[in-house]
Amino acid sequence: MIRHNFEYRAPREIEEALQILAGAGDDCAVLGGGTWLIPNMTFAAHQPGIVLDPKHLGFASISECGGEVVVGARATYVDAMRSPIAVAHLPLLVSMARGITGGISITGQGTIGGSACYGNPSSDVPACLVAMRARLRLRSIGGTRDLGASDYFLGKFATARRSDEMLVGIVFPKMTSDVRWGYYKLKFSTGSWPIVTAAAMVVNDCVRVALGAATAVPILTEMVLPADGGGEPLAELAKSCASISADEELVDELAGPGYRRRVAHSIVLRALEQCRGRE
C-alpha cells in the first residue's frame, strides 16, 4: 500500500504533461510500467507529490524512420521482442529483452525507457544503448533534444535527464545485416541481477564493446581491427575492452572488491565470440 498522498495526472496532450513537469520538477515522477516506481512508493523510498501517467500520449510504438528505429519510451521488453522492426533491425536489443528476468509481469509491463530513466548500473539496458549508439530523445517545454547514450548515463542512478524533461523515445541506428553482434551477461541465478554485461558489435573493421554493470556507467571501447583480419587474439582484445580500475569497480552485495574486475574480460570474450559466430 502507498501511504503518502499524491496527485495522479494523466494528461491527454503532451504540452499539458510538459507544463506539469516544468512546474513540479523533482516532485513529479513519470510513470513507465511502474515496476520500479510503484514498489519504491510502497516502501516510501520515493514519495513524489505528482505521478504523471503518459498513457494517453502515445510513445509506445516501435517505428522506422529512414536508417533509424525509434523505440517509444513506453515500449516494453515484450513490445521489442514482438516487433518485426526491432527483430529485423535491432537484434541486439531484442536479445537483451529476451534475457530480462521477472516473467511476463516485468517484461510485459517494464519499459526500456523506464530502465534508461532509472539509471540502475546493474541493469541490462545501459550497456546495450551505449554499444548501439542509441540516442535518448528528451522533451520539455523548451523543446526536444537528443542525447547520445554515452553522454546520458552519468553515474549510479544518475542520468543527464533534467527533472523538467520526459523521455519520449530512444533512437537507434539500424543494424545492417553485415553487423556482427553479441550480448553476454554473468548472473548468479536465473532471477538475479546481472553482475557484468557485455554488448559487442563489429561493424566493418571496427569493434565496439560496452561493458555494463561493472562500473557506475558503461565503459565503451572502440577499436579498429588489424587489416590482415587475423590480428589480435580475441582474448587480448577482450582484456583491453574490459580493463577497469579498482576505483571505478562497482562493489555491492552481489560481488565484493576485485570480483567484477576479474570476470569482466571473460564476459567480453564471450560476447566477442558470439560476434565471430555470426560471421
Ligand X SMILES: Cc1cc2nc3c(=O)[nH]c(=O)nc-3n(C[C@H](O)[C@H](O)[C@H](O)COP(=O)(O)OP(=O)(O)OC[C@H]3O[C@@H](n4cnc5c(N)ncnc54)[C@H](O)[C@@H]3O)c2cc1C
Q: Which residues of this protein are in contact with ligand X, per CB under 6 A?
A: 29-37, 73, 100-102, 106, 110-111, 113-115, 117-118, 123-125, 166-167
DSSP 170: E
**Cβ closest to ligand X, residue 7 vs residue 222:** 7
* Pick 26 or 178: Cβ nearer ligand X: 26
> From the CB of 206, what's the least distance to ligand X, in Å?
27
Half-sphere exposure of 124 (CA within 13 A, CB side): 23
Q: Give the nearer residue to ligand X in terms of CB position, either 32 or 202.
A: 32
Nearest distance in Å: CB 47, ligand X: 12
Torsion on CA atoms 52, 54, 55, 56, rounded to nearest 10: 110
Specify the residue, 152 or 237, whose C-beta has the smaller distance to ligand X: 152
Q: Extract the C-alpha cell encoding 84.
A: 518485426
| CA gyration radius, the chain | 19
Closest distance between ligand X and the C-beta of residue 232, in Å? 31
Minimum CB distance to ligand X, residue 257 (Å): 23
Classify 61 in phi/psi space as left (phi over 0), alpha (psi -120 to 50) or beta: beta
For the residues of 176-219, what is the DSSP string, one character each? -TT-EEEEEEE-SSTTSPPSEEEEEEEETTEEEEEEESSBSSPE
Which residue, 75 or 207, has its beta carbon nearer to ligand X? 75
Q: Provide, rounded to whole angstroms, the least separation between the CB of residue 223 and ligand X.
A: 26
Alpha helical stretches, state H, 1-68: 14-24, 37-42
Residue among 58 and 256 whose Cβ is closer to ligand X = 58
DSSP secondary structure code for residue 167 in this structure:
E
The span from the CA of 249 to the CA of 215, in Å, is 5
Q: Closest separation between CB of residue 92 and ligand X, Å?
A: 14
CA distances from 6 to 13, 28, 118 (A): 21, 9, 20
* Between 24 and 30, CB nearer to ligand X: 30
| Gap between the Cα atoms of 199 and 221, Å rounded | 11
Which position's Cβ is nearest ligand X? 114
Q: Please state the closest distance from residue 217 (CB atom) to ligand X, in A.
A: 15
- Taking the CB of residue 188, how many other CB atoms lie within 10 A of it? 11
